[in-house]
């Protein structure tokens, strides 16, 4: 699994010439309601086994949580189930709020 920083993900999303990754936010609903990266699919960690079929296993997938630990676990799960291009957002939405979008509520 690859690790991606908030700055690198921001640059990727801003690059019109590059296909955007699937953003999968694995936090709980209350966390997602506080803040999330625009375009993220909300798929709480406990729902991933039942809902992984909603994702394209051939596309880039960036897994997101609060600080990067839960997303790392989900990324490992996805890789074990045939996803080849999984990226973990290092530092999660907390890093995103601190380095990319200071207007995003942090918790």
Residue ranges covered by each domain of the chain? 2-99
Among the options 65, 72, 86, 97, which is catalytic?
65
pLDDT at 53: 96
pLDDT at 14: 97
Give the CA dihedral 76, 82, 86, 91, nearest 10 degrees: -20
pLDDT at 7: 98
pLDDT at 84: 95
Q: Give the fold, CATH level 3, of 2-99.
A: Oxidized Rhodanese; domain 1 (3.40.250)
The pTM for the full model equals 0.96
User: pLDDT-based confidence at 5, cuts 50/70/90?
Assistant: very high
pLDDT at 102: 95
Tell me, yes or no, if 65 is annotated catalytic.
yes
Tokens of residue 74, six digits: 């989900």
């Amino acid at each position: 699994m690859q690790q991606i920083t908030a700055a690198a993900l921001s640059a990727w999303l801003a690059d019109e010439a590059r296909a955007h990754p699937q953003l999968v936010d694995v936090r709980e609903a209350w966390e997602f309601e506080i803040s999330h990266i625009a375009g993220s699919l909300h798929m709480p960690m406990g729902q991933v086994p039942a809902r992984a079929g909603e994702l394209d296993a051939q596309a880039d997938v960036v897994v997101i949580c609060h600080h990067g630990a839960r997303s790392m676990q989900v990324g490992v799960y996805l890789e074990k189930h045939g996803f080849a291009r999984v990226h973990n957002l290092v530092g999660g939405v907390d890093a995103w709020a601190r380095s990319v979008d200071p207007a995003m509520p942090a918790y």
